[in-house]
Amino acid sequence: MTKKTRAELSRRFQRGDKPTEGDFLDLFDSFINSIDDGIEKSSSTNAPLKISPQGTEENWLDLIGGNTDTWRINHKPSQTSPGFNLTYQSDSRLYIDDVTGKVGIGNNVPFAKLHINAITNNDILRLDNSDGTTALVISDKSTVNANNQSNAAFQFNTISGKLKLGSLATNIINNIMPVYIRGGDTTSTSALVKIGNTKIYETTSKGLTLINLEKSSYALVSPPITYDTSNATQLLNLSNAIQNINVGTIGILVSCGIWNVNDDLKKIFKTAKLYKGYATNFTLGIKYSYAAIFEAQALSGVIQQQEETPTSNPLFPAQKEAPTSNSIFSVATAVNTTPGLASQAAQTQALNKLIIPIAEVINENEVAKISGWIIDDKWISSIDAVNAITDSTGKHLSLFSDGQNVTVQLNLTINGTTTASGGIIVNNTQGLENHLNIDGALYRYKDNHVYMTVTDSLCIRDSYNTTNIPFKFDTKKANLSINGIKSQPFFIRGTGSLISRSGITPGACEPAVINFYGQSYPLITHKGLNLLIYDTQNESLTLTNYDTTIYTPTSYASSDLDKLTLQLTNMTLTQIGILVSYDNWVDGIARAGLVNDYNNIDPSNTNITITTTSTGQRYNITLKDALTLKKLNIAANIKLSDTRKPYAAIFLHQANPNGIQPIEVLQQAASFDRIGSLDSTIAGWLINNVFVAFNKGNA
């Protein structure tokens, strides 16, 4: 039918008019019929208007915008379950399933209670606060357009999988805050510190910038300051500022531009336990970027040992650089940075706290970066804290590396196997003040000698034959065993002094000396003959002194002459004897040999008896006989004219069947009128208990 307006229909049915059939049809068609049109209004007061669906998709209602069908509400979108569906130009915008109640936005087949499908390249979900800031953004594209808030507390990109958070928290953890720290370079990259959703500080100023934050709120304790490391005064200020960091705060150091490294700055690094900066060997021409974070912890009744600090004389305080305008963190408590006051305060505070490094990085020719999290007041970083090991308190540096060498500054104990493919160098130019009395210690002493401490023996063994030890040096007995052949160096010296015919007093006599089998007797000053007996079976040494100058025929058995006689004749086959003289030793031997009432017995007779006569007890063998038994013919035939001539001898119990004869030395003076000390020496080796003299004779 032709559509008519109400005014047109009204004019056809005025008083006196005769409406036509067509007019009545137009009028009836303008009415809504509950059966034909599917719209019904019940007579019940509380009953709403009913609209019956039309067509296969059970369309309910079209909402027209302009001359086109813009919005449609239907019940059965194609190939879906029945539900409330709102479409725009055939594209579903909102769908609610009849049975499950699932809601679809941008799709009519929801798989969850709320299923959102961004039809075009738009944000999926965005929640704004009452002040216009965005609290939540979920987007399906890789870039954020101008309408999106880049500082939203929560952003999630469904394509890239990127999640952006301002901060996190749980029911028991109040703050989980991401942190980003970057050192600048010498070109265009600035030094930067960001925490959570806030840029704390950014600068391109040359030097090292110190930033101090509260651990609880991440607020600035004081305005960040950039220190020119080429200025001694500002270096002292930096040292004081680091020591001034309070317990409960975090310190951040970042570099930018060209910054100089000197001994004073290295001391600052060491004070703050920033050992990467301390240990790095800075090379001229290399551009370094630095970033570090550290904190102050309270000490429990422990006084911290003060580290070295720069000793430059400050003339003025360092200039402060104001924080950037985009920082929303407030300034907490200001710190006094006047050099003199800060230095005194820093020393006082350092007694009650300890600077602990959290993370540190230094790079060559590229920017240094640290990233991590602050969970409440605890820091977690992807960067190692230091390249050094300290003691349990963190106060003393024990081990660190400078990129070329590893330095151990305390005692090192290694329980496992140690491999040193490049060798071991003991290189302490000053040397130790005290010897190391630890078995196996290798060290340089202050006398510039390298020592090895060995308690028993130093051995070199064959790796293919575990039972074979071809080299063994006994440090206690000073003997060396090579392939089972034991060798022992020895040195013996007998001394005496000469007197002139004119009766001048004899010259001073030097002590006799015996160095044998690891034992040293350097000061033998007993007048007469001194006998050392070495037992090769039990490796024992016995030194006895005999005054051989006294001759008393009435008390033979109790004199030193008779005691020495008995000792010599009682030697066994396992023993080696050493005789050295000191001063006058001849008189008793020479005079006793002239006494007529001594028996003339065969020197080979070792059967010693004691007889008693009217003049006392005596042996049936004289000392001269005992010396003859040992083939010590020089001593046995000594004369009174040999008074004070030095004597030394080494001998076996008796002449060895293999031809090993005793070795004797008696000094023969060139002139009897000579005054002074004389000596007779024998030097050589004891090889498998056989002595070999390499140097014998007068010295």
- Give the pLDDT of residue 13: 82
Strand ranges, E, within 327-401: 353-364, 369-375, 378-381, 388-390, 397-401
Above 50 in pLDDT, residue 83?
yes
For residue 438, give both structure tokens.
């630890």
Q: What is the dihedral of CA 640, 643, 648, 652, to 10 degrees?
A: 20
Higher pLDDT: 429 or 39? It is 39
Above 80 in pLDDT, residue 616?
no
Taken as a whole, the chain contains a residue count of 699
Above 50 in pLDDT, residue 668?
yes
Distance between CA atoms of residues 661 and 654, nearest Å? 8
Above 90 in pLDDT, residue 283?
no
Residues 251/293, Cβ–Cβ less than 8 Å: yes
- Give the pLDDT of residue 662: 87
What is the mean predicted confidence (pLDDT) over 308-316? 37
Above 60 in pLDDT, residue 39?
yes
Q: Which percentage of the chain shows pLDDT scores above 70?
A: 72
- Give the pLDDT of residue 610: 57
Above 80 in pLDDT, residue 156?
no
Above 70 in pLDDT, residue 599?
no
- Give the pLDDT of residue 182: 93
Average pLDDT for the chain: 75
Above 70 in pLDDT, residue 110?
yes
What is the mean predicted confidence (pLDDT) over 304-318? 38
C-alpha distances (whole Å) from 623 to each of 22, 527, 528, 567 are 176, 17, 13, 10
- Give the pLDDT of residue 120: 64
Strand arrangement of the beta sheet that strand 353-364 belongs to: 225-227, 207-214, 249-256, 288-298, 353-364
- Give the pLDDT of residue 337: 37
Distance between CA atoms of residues 255 and 266, nearest Å? 15
**pLDDT bracket for residue 675 (50, 70, 90):** very low
263-271 helix and 232-243 helix, angle to the nearest 10 degrees: 0
Distance between CA atoms of residues 395 and 355, nearest Å? 9
325-358 pLDDT, tens digit per residue, is 333 333 333 333 333 333 444 444 555 677 888 8
Residue among 477, 478, 509, 516 nearest 494 (CA): 509
Above 80 in pLDDT, residue 615?
no
